[in-house]
Amino acid sequence: MGGGSIEEMAALFKTMQQHMAPTVTEAVSDEQLLALQSRLESLHAANLIADEELYSIEDAVADFSDLRQSLLPQKITLEHVNSAPGNTFEAAAKLLMIVGASETFATSDAAFARQLRRKLRGSRGS
């Protein structure tokens, strides 16, 4: 029986597993978080959002970060956010909503700022 060493076979098996494993996409990626934080700083500097609005969104980012850290090494996926019972992934859902608005209103800071205010007012009543 020909073939490679046990180490070569193990490496080949690991490579095959990686290619067969489904790709897991996070609900909110690191790149999206960085883009959001940068945009928020710009909006705040331009006085399009107030201190309290900035702080509220920073709190949402921190809550998401806490949730993400508590689940390591598992990633928070859209499936988690959309199917979790109760408020388990509420922090992720809120941040996903904010990131979605930022991406939707990518060319208009004023419109994005208005939508942030509207969404923040709605979430305070929760």
Averaged over 58-76, what is the pLDDT?
93
**Residue 126's pLDDT is what?**
46
**Residue 19's pLDDT is what?**
66
State both tokens at 118: 């509207």
Q: pLDDT at residue 3 above 70?
A: no
Kindly report whether the global pTM for this prediction surpasses the value 0.85.
no
Domain ranges of the chain: 25-124
- Preceding amide of 85 cis, omega within 30: no
